[in-house]
Amino acid sequence: MAGFSAGTGSAFSLIPAQNATGNWIKVVQRVPVRIVLNREDVDRHPLRIGLSMTVKVDTSAAGAPVSKTPGAALPEMESTDWSEVDRTVDEILGQSAP
């Protein structure tokens, strides 16, 4: 495990949302976790969309110094210009509007 990420929304809340009847909705609490994988493992067993994993974090060393060093920088992701696609979608939606 390389680190935790901040979560937002009800899926990441400490207490699940309450519905109108006053019953607490039971949900699995999820926290985004960054993991590090070996390139060889990924080449042999490619990751698929929607996979989940279980992470156990040893907190027995509570009070131990926390690293202030930021993690390794991620490579910059490829950026795609979607403006032409947006124009096409707007045009199609405009034609189908009553």
pLDDT tens column, 52-61:
777 777 777 7
Does the residue 14 lie in any domain?
yes
Question: What's residue 95's pLDDT?
Answer: 78
pTM: 0.34
In a domain, 93, yes or no: no
Q: What tokens were used for 63?
A: 């009070």
Give the span between the Cα atoms of 91 and 93, in whole angstroms.
Answer: 6
Residue 35 lies in a domain: yes
CA nearest 26: which of 36, 37, 13, 17?
17
Decide if 44 is inside a domain. yes
Mean of the pLDDT values across residues 10-18? 56
How many domains does the chain contain in total? 1
Instruction: Please provide the distance, in angstroms rounded to a whole number, between the alpha carbons at the two ends of the chain.
Output: 52
